[in-house]
């Protein structure tokens, strides 16, 4: 969960709002970072943590590199949004991130994101059978305070539900 201290620090250090994103281990998640039209040709980047002063130096990816390991950055200049996709999420990816847009003559512009990656829990009946079988989620479904993610096991006809 997010601590009040970390959310307050982000709020008062750079950003008016914090976008909260929740996902699951092994999934891919995309984070949208809006910017104003006058910055469409500026450098965009994302970093871990909540320190604007060191964010560019610690950037995980920039609009110049576009792909770096599990991170990909796509810039939609028409909508004024750049999207960072993180593949193969782990619990270690949970935490604070800053989306940054470089302004050459002034302080960079930031938006804050808090990512929470949860571990999926499998029940015994959800094990995939077969030599080359593995679970692949189809979609999320909320209800009764739990998240259920139906999935199909490739290589079999077995359907499973991930419950966390």
Dist. CA 127–CA 20, nearest whole Å = 31
Q: Which among 60, 109, 64 has a CA at the least distance from the CA of 85?
A: 60
- Residue 130's domain comprises 124-163
Same domain for 109 and 144? no
Same domain for 106 and 149? no
Same domain for 87 and 73? yes
Same domain for 114 and 134? no
The predicted structure's pLDDT at residue 107:
87
Same domain for 109 and 141? no
Say if residues 158 and 135 touch (Cβ distance below 8 Å). Answer: no
Q: Residue 102 is part of a domain; what is its CATH number?
A: 2.60.40.10
**Count of structural domains within the chain:** 2
pTM: 0.68
Same domain for 17 and 45? yes
Same domain for 19 and 88? yes
Dist. CA 150–CA 143, nearest whole Å = 13
Residue 138 clears pLDDT 50, i.e. is over it:
no
Same domain for 59 and 140? no
Same domain for 50 and 128? no
Same domain for 141 and 97? no
Tokens in use for 24?
């699951």
The predicted model gives 112-119 an average pLDDT of 94
Same domain for 69 and 143? no
Same domain for 111 and 137? no
Residues 73-109: tens digit of each pLDDT: 999 999 999 999 999 999 999 999 999 999 988 889 9
């Amino acid at each position: 969960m997010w601590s009040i201290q970390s959310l307050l620090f982000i709020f008062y250090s750079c950003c008016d709002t914090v976008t909260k994103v929740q996902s699951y281990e092994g999934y891919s998640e995309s984070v949208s970072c809006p910017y104003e039209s006058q910055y469409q040709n500026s450098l965009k980047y994302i970093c871990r943590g909540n320190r604007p002063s060191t964010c560019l130096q610690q950037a995980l990816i920039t609009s110049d590199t576009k792909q770096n390991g599990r991170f990909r950055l796509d810039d939609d200049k028409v909508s004024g949004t750049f999207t960072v996709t993180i593949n193969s999420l782990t619990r270690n990816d949970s935490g604070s991130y800053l989306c940054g847009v470089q302004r050459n003559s002034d302080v960079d512009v930031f938006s804050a994101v808090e990512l929470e990656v949860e571990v999926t829990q499998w029940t015994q009946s959800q094990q995939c059978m077969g030599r080359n079988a593995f679970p692949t989620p189809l979609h999320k479904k909320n209800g009764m305070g739990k998240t259920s993610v139906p999935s199909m096991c490739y290589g079999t006809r077995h359907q499973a539900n991930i419950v966390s």
